[in-house]
C-alpha cells in the first residue's frame, strides 16, 4: 500500500512539474524571431517617438530623478517617503522577507494605515515565501490592504511561474521609487562584504509618477478585482524637474515581448556606447546578435555581471556559456568581485538610462511582470556612467583567451545549463 502511495505521489509531482515546464515554454504571444534594425540613432527625435508611441507610454517631461546607491541610501529614502504619506501608498515588490528590514517597512506601513492613509501592498507569492505570516497578519490588523500575486490554487498552477518581479513604491501619487532592491536584510548596508549586496534604486518626482501608479494598478486589479482611481491615487501633478521619462512595463497578460523589443530597439539605435549592468545576464540569440552588430558598427560596449559571489550559480554558468560571440566582437565583460552585484541599468549613447526590475534574460523578457524607468537625459546618463565606472574598478575583466581556456568540464556544464536558458 505504501509502495503504491509513494508511486502515486511521485506521479502527481511529476505531472505538476511537467505542466509548469510546458506552460513556461509556451506562451500565447508570438515571440520576436527576426533581427530588429534601426535607421535612426538613440538621440534622434524618431527614436523618442518610437519608444513613446510604438512601444510604450508617452514620454513625459518635468521629472526629477535621483539615484540611490545600496541599502544605506535606498531604505532610508523609501521609509522617509512612506512616513510622509498623507493620502495613499501603493507598494508592489517581488522579494519581501522577514528580518530587520522587513519589520521596519511593516512598522512604517502599519503606522500610516492607522493614521488613515490608504495603504495597498502587493506581494509576489513566490518572492514573499520567506515572510512570516505574523508580519502579514500585523499589517492587515492595522488596516494595510495586502494581496498576494498569483497565489497558487489547484486550477491555476500554470500561472505559478508568471511572477510579478516589479519593484514599485508610489506615495500620494507624486513620489515614486523603482530599481533592483527587494525588502530583505541582504540589501542593507553599503555592499561592504558578501552578505550585503550591491544595488541601485531611484527616487522620482513629477508627472511620470502617475505612470508608476498605472503600472501598479494593472496588477492590483488582477490580484484583487478592485479599481483604485480617485484623485488620491492620480492627483494633478506639476513639474518637479527637467527630465523626460516614461515607466515601461511588460508581462505575459499584457504583451510579454514589449520589454524585449524595447531593449533590442535601444541596442539597434546605439551609435556610440552601451553600458550594461546586469545581475542575471543570459542573453538569447537575438540579443547576442544585436550586441554583436552594434559592436561591429563601432559602438563601445561594456557589461558588468556578478562574479563568483552570486545567489544563483546556475545563472552564472548559463551566462558564461553565451559569451563567446560577444568577446570575439570586442565587447568588454566584467565580473564584479566584492559581493553579489544586483544592479539592472542600461545606458545608451550617453542619453537613455533604462533601469528597474528587468534582468537581461528570457525570464524577464517573457515570463515575469516587469517595469523599467526610462530616462532620456544626457546629464543623468553622465551621472550613471560615473557609477558604472566606479563599479568597473571593483570588477575583473574576462578576456577571450580566459574564456576559451576554461576547463572542459566547466564548458560542458555551462553548455548544458545554457540549454535551459529560457527558464532562467
Find, among 198, 173, 208, 197, the residue nearest to 372 by Cα.
Answer: 208
Q: Which of 124, 172, 369, 391 is catalytic?
A: 172
Catalytic (active site) residue 344: yes
What angle separates helix 70-83 from helix 100-114, to the nearest 10 degrees? 10
Q: Which set of grid coordinates corresponds to residue 308?
A: 563568483
Q: Which of 349, 369, 377, 391 is catalytic?
A: 349
Residue 295, helix vs strand vs coil: helix
Is the distance from CB of 371 to CB of 249 less than 8 angstroms?
yes
Q: How far apart are the first and last CA of the chain?
A: 39
Q: Which of 186, 344, 369, 377 is catalytic?
A: 344
Catalytic (active site) residue 80: no
Q: Which of 165, 186, 196, 309 is catalytic?
A: 165
Catalytic (active site) residue 165: yes
Catalytic (active site) residue 260: no
Residue 215, helix vs strand vs coil: helix
CA dist., res. 270 & res. 352, Å (int): 10
CA dist., res. 99 & res. 41, Å (int): 46
CA dist., res. 322 & res. 414, Å (int): 9
Is the distance from CB of 362 to CB of 256 less than 8 angstroms?
no
* Residues 6+ away with beta carbon under 8 Å from 349: 41, 42, 43, 269, 270, 271, 272, 273, 274
Angle subtended at Cα 90 by Cα 189 and Cα 379, rounded to the nearest 5 degrees = 60
Q: Which set of grid coordinates corresponds to residue 355?
A: 533601469
Q: Which of 342, 361, 369, 377 is catalytic?
A: 342
Query: Residue 324: what are its φ and ψ, rounded to 5°?
Result: -55, -55
Q: Quick one: which H or E segment has residue 258?
A: helix 258-268
Rounded-to-5 percentages of helix, strand, coil across the chain: 40, 25, 35
Catalytic (active site) residue 7: no
Find, among 37, 36, 58, 38, the residue nearest to 46 by Cα.
Answer: 38
As a whole number of angstroms, the longest Cα–Cα distance in the chain is: 72
DSSP 274: E
Q: Which of 67, 120, 167, 309 is catalytic?
A: 167
CA dist., res. 304 & res. 302, Å (int): 7
CA dist., res. 268 & res. 271, Å (int): 8
Q: Give Cα 289 to chain centroid, integer Å.
A: 22
Catalytic (active site) residue 67: no
Q: What positions carry a catalytic annotation? A: 165, 167, 172, 342, 344, 349
Amino acid at each position: 500500500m505504501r509502495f503504491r502511495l509513494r508511486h502515486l505521489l511521485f506521479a502527481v509531482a511529476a505531472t505538476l512539474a511537467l505542466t509548469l515546464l510546458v506552460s513556461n515554454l509556451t506562451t500565447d504571444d508570438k515571440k520576436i524571431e527576426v533581427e530588429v534594425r534601426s535607421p535612426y540613432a538613440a538621440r534622434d527625435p524618431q527614436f523618442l517617438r518610437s519608444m513613446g508611441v510604438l512601444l510604450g507610454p508617452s514620454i513625459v517631461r518635468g521629472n526629477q530623478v535621483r539615484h540611490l546607491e545600496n541599502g544605506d541610501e535606498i531604505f532610508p529614502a523609501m521609509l522617509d517617503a512612506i512616513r510622509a504619506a498623507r493620502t495613499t501608498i501603493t507598494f508592489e515588490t517581488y522579494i519581501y522577507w522577514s528580518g530587520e528590514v522587513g519589520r521596519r517597512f511593516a512598522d512604517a506601513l502599519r503606522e500610516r494605515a492607522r493614521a488613515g492613509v490608504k495603504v495597498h501592498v502587493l506581494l509576489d507569492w513566490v518572492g514573499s515565501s520567506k515572510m512570516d505570516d505574523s508580519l502579514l497578519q500585523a499589517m492587515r490588523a492595522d488596516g494595510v490592504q495586502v494581496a498576494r500575486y498569483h497565489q497558487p490554487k489547484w486550477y491555476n498552477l500554470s500561472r505559478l511561474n508568471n511572477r510579478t518581479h516589479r519593484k514599485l513604491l508610489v506615495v500620494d501619487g507624486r513620489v515614486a521609487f523603482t530599481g533592483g532592491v527587494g525588502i530583505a536584510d541582504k540589501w542593507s548596508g553599503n555592499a561592504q562584504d558578501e552578505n550585503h549586496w550591491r544595488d541601485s534604486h531611484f527616487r522620482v518626482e513629477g508627472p511620470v509618477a502617475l505612470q508608476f501608479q498605472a503600472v501598479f494598478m494593472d496588477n492590483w486589479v488582477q490580484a484583487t478585482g478592485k479599481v483604485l482611481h480617485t484623485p488620491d491615487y492620480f492627483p494633478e501633478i506639476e513639474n518637479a524637474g527637467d527630465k523626460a521619462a516614461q515607466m515601461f512595463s511588460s508581462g505575459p497578460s499584457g504583451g510579454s515581448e514589449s520589454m524585449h523589443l524595447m531593449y533590442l530597439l535601444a541596442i539597434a539605435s546605439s551609435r556610440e556606447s552601451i553600458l550594461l549592468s546586469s545581475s542575471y545576464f543570459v542573453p538569447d540569440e537575438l540579443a547576442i546578435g544585436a550586441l554583436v552588430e552594434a559592436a561591429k558598427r563601432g559602438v563601445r560596449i561594456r557589461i558588468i555581471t556578478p562574479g563568483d559571489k552570486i545567489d544563483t550559480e546556475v545563472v552564472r554558468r548559463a551566462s558564461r556559456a553565451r559569451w563567446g560571440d560577444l568577446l570575439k566582437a570586442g565587447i568588454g565583460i566584467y565580473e564584479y568581485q566584492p559581493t553579489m552585484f544586483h544592479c539592472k541599468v542600461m545606458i545608451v549613447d550617453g542619453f537613455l538610462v533604462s533601469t528597474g526590475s528587468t534582468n537581461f534574460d528570457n525570464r524577464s523578457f517573457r515570463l515575469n511582470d516587469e517595469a523599467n524607468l526610462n530616462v532620456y537625459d544626457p546629464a543623468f546618463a553622465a551621472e550613471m556612467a560615473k557609477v558604472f565606472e566606479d563599479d568597473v574598478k571593483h570588477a575583473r575583466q574576462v578576456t577571450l583567451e580566459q574564456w576559451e581556456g576554461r576547463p572542459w568540464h566547466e564548458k560542458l556544464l555551462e553548455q548544458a545549463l545554457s540549454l535551459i536558458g529560457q527558464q532562467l
